[in-house]
Amino acid sequence: MVWLYAIGSVIVVSLIALAGILFLSVDRARLDRMLLLLISFAVGALAGDAFIHLIPETFKELGLGLRAPLLIIGGLMLFFVLEQSIRWRHCYLPIADHHVHPVGTLNLTGEAMHNFIDGVLIAASYTVSIPIGIATTVAVILHEIPQEIGDFAVLVYAGFPVRRALLYNFLVALTAIAGVIIVLLLGSLIEGLSIIVLPITAGGFIYMALSDLIPEIQQHCEKLLALAEHSAAVLLGIGLMVALLLLD
């Protein structure tokens, strides 16, 4: 059952890579606004999953000693080092004038590694419980939608033909399946693997929310109405994570 849920989840996540072409036909101003609100929603979902699902489960399994907080901090550092080492930053708004895009090949390399890690995180979550796996999958999906649209735009901007950019973006998304298979195979051989990955996942989600997403939306919250809209979107993301507790 865990295999079915985990593989099914990463297939759904991978299919999001095909969404970019649909959004490029939307009016630019409307697209920017949609993505910004979705980013805010993703902030709530990522932080909510970390603090409501993953961290409590970690402390439940590891106790109140130093292991849990150190692993969470390790997740923060891992995502920081990974992101900086390949000079790859999430790009959520298509071809923003103020942002210098990485070359297409570098973007694909970073995406392949990122999606592989997504597969690892999703599989590890499902080995703990189905509800936690679903919550993590939802958080990843909400994070992936604006990211995949941006990645597709970067590839086109870098000179890839539209169809080839769409194909390559989808192929690198499939590396998530490899992450799932490796974790599920090793999980039966290495006792406690999932409980080690969970706090690292939590640290990674917190890093993405605070380092990548919040700075993006802060630039667009100068007016009270915009602040209210984005705050509501964040709270909706958190509320979704709370609602998923009912599945447990």
Q: Which two tokens stand for residue 82?
A: 């990974």
- pLDDT at residue 23, rounded to an integer: 60
Domain boundaries, the chain: 2-243
- pLDDT at residue 97, rounded to an integer: 46
Please indicate whether residue 148 or residue 103 has the higher confidence score (pLDDT): 148
- Burial-class residue 102 by CB neighbours within 10 Å (0-12, 13-18, 19+): middle
Q: Cα(21)–Cα(242) distance, rounded to whole angstroms?
A: 32
- pLDDT at residue 87, rounded to an integer: 54
Please report, for residues 13, 174, 208, the alpha-carbon distance to residue 78 in angstroms, rounded to integers and kept in the order given: 22, 22, 11
How is the chain split among helix, strand and coil, in percent rounded to 5? 80, 0, 20
Mind listing the pLDDT tens digit for each residue in 64-110? 888 899 999 998 898 788 777 655 444 444 444 444 344 456 567 66
Q: Give the mean model confidence (pLDDT) for residues 162-168.
A: 80
Mind listing the pLDDT tens digit for each residue in 33-63? 777 787 788 788 888 888 988 899 889 888 8
pTM of the predicted structure, to 2 decimals = 0.68
215: pLDDT strictly greater than 80 = yes
Q: Give the mean model confidence (pLDDT) for residues 217-229.
A: 84
Per the prediction, the chain carries an average pLDDT of 78
